[in-house]
Amino acid sequence: MTPRDYVLANQEIVQQIKDRLPGNEKLDMYFGTLDYATSRFNTILLKLSQDKIKEQEYELEVHDCFEAIQAFYKNVKRYDNSPKIFKFVFAIMLHGIGTRRISKIKKLLSKINN
């Protein structure tokens, strides 16, 4: 996938973040995480689009970051639409994705900046 494809695939997430009304503290936290992750990911894509060699070098890591954002978003939607009794299951899944996979985006951004 090219950087353009990644940006277009993340458009739904960015639009959902913009259109969302605050109110639920837990959901606000999850959407805040998505906001930071997508902005960092878009910064990564911008920097890599300027250097084709680096783009090829980091291709697998970029795709892993994209998959992490998509998985996090999918589970946020599940959390939002599930009954209260099942929310804890999705909260645990979101915590795992956030600590293990979303943190790789920040690491990749710092790696590319240096």
In this prediction, residue 4 carries a pLDDT of 86
Mean pLDDT of successive 10-residue segments in the chain (114 residues)? Answer: 87 88 86 94 93 92 95 94 91 94 94 89
The domain of 56 spans: 3-113
Secondary structure class of 20 (helix, strand, coil): coil
In this prediction, residue 24 carries a pLDDT of 83
16: its two tokens:
């959902």
Secondary structure class of 1 (helix, strand, coil): coil
Q: Quote the pTM value.
A: 0.91
In this prediction, residue 17 carries a pLDDT of 87
Domain count, the chain: 1
Q: Residue 1, class by beta-carbon neighbours within 10 Å (0-12 exposed, 13-18 middle, 19+ buried)?
A: exposed
In this prediction, residue 70 carries a pLDDT of 95
| CATH number of the domain encompassing residue 12 | 1.20.140
d(CA 26, CA 2): 33
